[in-house]
Structure 1
Amino acid sequence: MFSINSDTGELTIKGHLDYEKSPSYEIRVQATDQGHSRRSAHGKVLVEVIDVNDNSPDISVTSLMSPVKEDAEIGTVVALVTVSDKDSSKNGITNCKLSGSVPFKLKSNYKNDYSLVVDWPLDRESESQYNVTITATDEGAPPLSSTSVITVRVSDVNDNAPRFSEPVANVYVKENSPVGDVIYTISAFDRDSEENSMIMYALLGTSNSISSSVNINSDNGDIISLQSFNYEEIKTFQFKVQATDSGVPPLSSNVTVNVFILDENDNSPGILAPYSEHGSVNTENVPYSAEAGYFVAKIRAVDADSGYNALLSYHISEPKGTNLFRIGTSTGELRTKRRMSDNDLKTHPLVVLVSDNGEPSLSATVSIDVVVVESTGEIQTQFRNVPRKEENFSDLNLYLLIAIASVSVIFLLSLISLLAVKCHRKGDSFRRYSAPVITTHPDGSWSYSKSTQQYDVCYSSDTLKSDVVVFPAPYPPADAELISINGNDTFNRTQTLPNKEENDSVIIPRAL
């Protein structure tokens, strides 16, 4: 490690000094002279090595707990960390920290001993593994540092229920589909792992009718039909499916399934009365004098299907290309194309074809024998003479006719009531003018009143007997006198009557 100059005694370093291996050296030195009898002396040199910061901190991890459950509480110890530095003094003092954003922190225990603990809640579904970087730095000049990366895995707990892509599933099934077909597949997803994500499917709270219609594969969620559906009997039904995971405790969720049966064209049109389908005789009579467009018959049919499958059209299939009759494609009304001629047959057998609009199209036929008669009196069918103008008679026209009739009746009743009131008032007026009112007052006097005119007749209260004479118009002569009766039964002329109009009357008291 050291060498000395034999002539000068200079002590020099020969090897590499390492304070961490040997902080000091003790060197013994001998000095010898050049005499005949050489003499020597011994000395001891102590060499102290001064430390420099030439060692980075050393990080060691022990007691690593991995994986860590995602429901671990805050403060749970994940690992023990020890940091050491071979240097001395400040060169050996270290500081330790974590790099990046992780849900952990270092907690100092004693000097260079640390604990790696959980700092905030873990979620395996968000992050299942963390690479934790620990950095240790000493206080030397210049400072040295070192890093260590440890991997912490997060284990799953059953904290997520199965989830469906949507809360309601709509399933469309064609009617008459084979029994055992998979009509739909229910699929749920669980964010947990392993057993916690294994899902089982089941029908939830179904009635007997539902359980006899569909079933579900508990492993893969396939919904299987147990019967062939008929749109004309049932158009829609509903049930619920429950998905349950295999965790402890198990978690579950539900989805509502709406099944809509789609109509297929599996029903032929049905002919309505009074006509019947092909195979029976239907007869209609037409007068020889019928004009073009004469109403012969109306064929009515219905189809149990729906939509386009129930859209019916009417055609004359036999005879082909007839030039005497036509039928409304959508209405089914059979009419004449032209007037009859002497060359036409007396009986015309027609076959009317009623077709729906399904794929493939289904149809029904009805046979009608149209018989030409000489006069309308010979027509026996209930449809024998329907005027052409009624062809377009609709419910709107019927409502309009009813409204007009109602308004007319109300107007007529109002007019009659008004006339009755006027007649009643005129009768009262006639009685008022032709029979004036005579009133007896408590003091024994008489009052004559007519319209706005009033005439008073006064006599003594002790009059024994009196009478009133009414002169109808025309009145007595203008020089007639009004006579009053006093208590002594004497007659006095009191007043000459004024000239009255032609229709007035006057009351005169008369002694009996």
Structure 2
Amino acid sequence: MVSPKSRDGEVRRLLLSLLLLAAWEAGSSQVRYSVPEEAKHGTFVGRIAQDLGLELAELVPRLFRMASKGGGDLLEVNLQNGILFVNSRIDREELCGRSLECSIHLEVIVERPLQVFHVEVEVKDINDNPPVFPGTQKTLFMAESRPLDSRFPLEGASDADIGVNALLSYKLSSSEFFFLDVQTNDELSQALSLVLRKSLDREETAEINLLLVATDGGKPELTGTVQLLIKITVLDVNDNAPEFESTVYRVRLFENAPNGTLVVIVNASDLDEGVNKDIVYSFNTDTSADTRSKFHLDPVNGYISVKGSIDFESTKLYEIQVEATDKGNPPMADHCTVLVEILDTNDNVPELVIKSLSLPILEDAPLGTVIALISVSDRDSGANGQVTCTLTHHVPFKLVSTFKNYYSLVLDGTLDRESVASYELVVTARDGGSPSLWATASVSVEVGDVNDNAPVFAQPEYTVFVKENNAPGCHIFTVSARDADAQENARVAYSLVERRVGERALSSYVSVHAESGQVFALQPLDREELELLQFRVSARDAGAPPLGSNVTLQVFVLDENDNAPALLPPPPPSPWPPQRVARWVGAGQVVAKVRAVDADSGYNAWLSYELQEEAAAPGGARSAFRVGLYTGEISTTRALDEADAARQRLLVLVKDHGEPALTATATVLLWLEEGGAAPKASSRLVVGPAAAAEAALVDVHVYLVVAICAVSSLLVLTLLVYTALRCSAPRGEGACVPGPARLVCSSAVGSWASSPRRRRQRVCSGEGPPKADLMAFSPSLPPGPISGDGEEEVHAEADLPRCHCSGLGHCCGMGLSPGLENFTCQPAWPKQIVFDLNCGVLISAQYFSSS
């Protein structure tokens, strides 16, 4: 609310104003002055007292005072001289603004009488204000797609001055894109516009800075400039496609790279901005499914990494098409090609393939014979795929490189199927990687047989003993030859090497089975007719051409007691009268002799003589005659006397040692005579049990003994020389070992038969003295040491296998002496032939056993 005092003051002032106005109108006058603005303090304006018609002296007394309407104390009057001067800074623009007329209204009041004068001081404009733009910087946004001659209005500058001082001119800095268009509407109104003279390209020039200069028309001229007055920002439109740094990326990647391995980073740039610049990476739609399965593409940063199994041997180069698409509307895209070259690693083992295997290879194949063709391969490349082959050492084969990745397995040495029937070869293929990988293949090369080996017998000859009177067709021996070849080349056929035996062919005596080699006697053999049958058996294989060899068989026909003793008549021309014996003959006088022979041999031909009961003295007296057990000589046992009958009839039994024994009887007639000189002994021999006549017998006993002794001496001498040559180095005292004798002996005192290369041996027992009644020989055995008496001895050691014999008959059947029940045989003897003189039986090619 307005207070009453305030209201009264306003009324008073209003009344005073009215009075002054009335007085002004009644006696005032108008005075005009002019002063430029911005005049300095004290600047002379006018002689206001003089011009008002006031005396200088009156100014004070009349209370001269001056009041300004809105001017303040800009002007002041010097009361001393009545001059109006500038008291303080006058700014026309501050007083009047943009008004064309600007004056300071002064009221000069004097009293006594009261007078009011109006003084108008025109303030003149000077060019003291530069043009001023509304702002220091103006920013314009223009799309780069704006067409040419597009106009962009600008707000001009303002100048606080007026008139010519406020008349502005504009100047635009140089620009290839814009020019300034100024249109004047009236004297003071101007329209400014920027006109586009060249198409904008934000990617080329994203921002344009222009300087607009405004100049007024005052004297002196004042200019107004604005730095960066116009900043034109070119707005982006999606007019640029993304662009890759390279159209083709070439990278190398080792196979078997683990998942997640970075392959390459593709990078595309877009000259646009904002969403127009945002790029999304993707595989081209033409990219194969296999490539998509092997690689992953990050859509934001363009990383391509491994996500599948990378195999050089499967794919050596991947061509990946990558697209970069921006997010503009419409979107724009670019593409590039990523060539991923896969580098090989040594991850494949060499492969071996055996081709054209030609087996078996004959053992007589020439050197260089191609056995097999071997191909090698390695899926790797470079050194990793370079394969070299090696073969098992120390074999008669080698590998020859024929052409790339092919080797020939050829023969490089001689073959012998009998030594090595097959070869297990190992071919090793090794690549050149680091570390290297290898593979092996086994090749079994079988050596084919050729007929290069003849059948071979275990020994060059065999000695076979066969009892006479054998059954026709009996098996007597088996020959066996071994052929080192195989199949047909080793199939052996046996045959006789035909020859004649006397008047007959060999094939009439023996035959050999072609397949088994069994030798058969085709007819009974008679030792008295044929003691030794020597022939050869041929073994021939079925090869082409066939090969063969021979073996010699010596078949000794062993005697059987099939011949009784035969009494020999006296030598002619002696008749067979009764033998006359003088009665004065003393004891021990040979008066007659019975001679007999046996066609058998050995024990079967060993004869003994004994008197039958008829020769005994009558009445049980001692008989006057006896007969030598082995000589057959009849001699007196005592001196004859008168009591003896003049006619003596002696019955002599001749018996061999066969089993069973065969006998013959001889009747000897003796006439006892009186007186006369001692007559020469003669005998009358009655042959057979029913002999009817007596004949004079020629005494051939002496000749027989002489012959036996001569042959025996020659044999012993031969044995001594042969044994001395064979056994030059003694093997220890008393050692008895088998020798290579070929001896068949019958008796130490009787007749005996010999075969080629015979030698007498003694068989020694470790428990007693050597026994002279056992003859032994070992065909084809190494020589043994010689005893001191020139005879070889065979010791029976207690720790060797023993051959048991019990009983005379059994021992004779087995060929062992009754006194050798615990005879032991050397294990080194492959075969021992023993002749028992007591039994007269010959063991033929018998192997001793521990039983």
Q: Same fold (TM over 0.5)?
A: yes
**What corresponds to 1:304 in structure 2?**
599
Counterparts in 2 of 1:351 and 1:13: CA distance versus 1, 3 Å? same
Instruction: Look up the SS of the partner of 1:354 in the other structure.
Output: strand
Provide the rounded CA distance (Å) in 2 between the counterparts of 1:99 and 1:77. 17
Q: Deviations over 1:196-230 (max 9, x none)?
A: 22233322241244233223333333333233222
Q: Name 1:253's counterpart in structure 2.
A: 549
User: 3-state DSSP class of the match of 1:314?
Assistant: strand
Deviating more after overlay: 79-88 vs 206-215:
206-215
Asked if residue 234 in structure 1 is aligned to residue 530 in structure 2, the reply is yes
Alignment partner of 1:14 is 2:307: yes
The answer (yes or no) to whether the contact 1:181–1:225 under 8 Å persists in 2 is: yes
Tell me the secondary structure at the aligned position of residue 357 of structure 2.
coil
Tell me, in whole angstroms, the C-alpha distance in 2 between the residues paired with 1:356 and 1:14: 114
Structure 1 residue 123 and structure 2 residue 416: aligned? yes
TM-score, reference length from structure 2: 0.41
Separation (CA, whole Å) in 1 of partners of 2:463 and 2:495: 17
Q: 253-262 or 145-154: which moved more?
A: 253-262
1:225 alignment partner AA: A
Q: C-alpha deviations, 1:326-382, integer Å up to 9, x for none?
A: 222222222333345666555554322222222322221122344544445798974
Compute the displacement of 1:321 (Å): 6.9
- Superposed CA offset, 1:304-342 (max 9, x none): 222332222221221487622322222222233334566
Aligned counterpart, 1:169: 462
In 1, Cα distance between equivalents of 2:341 and 2:522? 97
Report the Cα distance in structure 2 between the residues aligned to 1:15 and 1:348, rounded to whole angstroms: 137
Confirm or deny: 8 A CA contact 2:493 2:540 kept in the other structure: yes
Match of 2:427 in 1: 134
- What SS class does the counterpart of residue 495 from structure 2 fall into? strand
Unaligned runs of 5+ in 1: 276-280, 385-391, 396-512
1:71 corresponds to 2:367: no
Q: Name the residue aligned to 1:202.
A: 495
Q: Could you tell me which of 333, 344, 347 is aligned with 2:633?
A: 333
Provide the secondary structure at the position in 1 that maps to 2:668. strand
Contact 1:175 1:230 in 2 (8 A): yes
Q: Distance in 2 between matches of 1:383 and 1:319?
A: 17
Check the 8 A contact 2:580/2:682 in 1, yes or no.
no
1:373–1:379 CA contact under 8 A, matched in 2: no
2:681 and 2:402 map into 1 onto residues whose CA distance is 113
TM-score, normalised via structure 1 length: 0.67
Q: Secondary structure at the match of 1:335?
A: strand
Which protein is bigger by CA-based radius of gyration?
Answer: 2
By how many angstroms is 1:101 displaced? Answer: 2.6
Whole-Å separation in 2 of the counterparts to 1:366 and 1:205: 47
Q: Secondary structure at the match of 1:211?
A: helix
CA contact (8 A) 1:174 1:263 kept: yes
Question: Which amino acid in structure 1 is aligned with residue 412 of structure 2?
Answer: D
1:318 matched to 2:618? The reply is no
Aligned residue among 649, 652, 674 for 1:352: 652
Where do 1:46-445 residues align within 5 Å? 46-207=339-500, 208-274=504-570, 283-319=578-614, 323-324=622-623, 325-340=625-640, 347-376=647-676, 382=682
Contact 1:180 1:225 survives alignment (8 Å): yes
Specify the code of the residue in structure 2 equivalent to 1:248: A
Conserved in 1, the CA contact under 8 Å of 2:597 and 2:605?
Answer: yes
Cα offset, 1:39, TM superposition: 6.0
Change (3 A) 1:370 1:320: closer
Identical residues among aligned pairs (%): 45
**Partner Cα distance (2:467, 2:408) in 1:** 66
- 1:50 maps to amino acid: L
- Residues 373-424 of structure 1 show CA distances to partners (whole Å, capped at 9, x for unaligned) of 444579897469xxxxxxx9x99xxxxxxxxxxxxxxxxxxxxxxxxxxxxx
- The answer as to whether partners of 2:592 and 2:681 remain within 8 angstroms in 1 is no
CA distance, structure 2, for counterparts of residue 194 and residue 213 of structure 1 = 33
Q: 1:337 to 1:84 in 2, by over 3 A?
A: same
Tell me the C-alpha RMSD between the 2 structures.
3.2
SS at match of 1:49: strand
Q: Indicate the SS of the match to 1:66.
A: coil
TM-superposed CA distance for 1:74, in Å, is 1.1
Q: Find the aligned partners of 1:316 and 1:186 in 2 and give their Cα distance.
A: 51
Partner of 1:421: none
Structure 2 spans left out of the alignment, 5+ residues: 1-293, 685-701, 707-851
SS at match of 2:488: helix
Alignment CA distance shift 1:320-1:296 (3 Å): closer
Distance 1:17 1:226 in 2: 88
For 1:32 and 1:219, how far apart are their aligned partners in 2?
97
Aligned with 1:361: secondary structure?
A: coil
Q: 1:11 and 1:70 mapped to 2: Cα distance?
A: 65
CA contact (8 A) 1:349 1:369 kept: yes
Distance between the aligned counterparts of 1:301 and 1:244, measured in 2? Answer: 51
Deviates more, 1:198-207 or 1:35-44: 35-44
Q: Give the match's secondary structure for 1:232.
A: coil
Higher relative CO (CA 8 A, sep ≥ 6), structure 1 or 2? 1
Cα deviation, 1:172-209, whole Å, max 9, x if unaligned, reads 22222222222222322222222222233322241244
What's the CA shift for 1:37?
A: 7.2
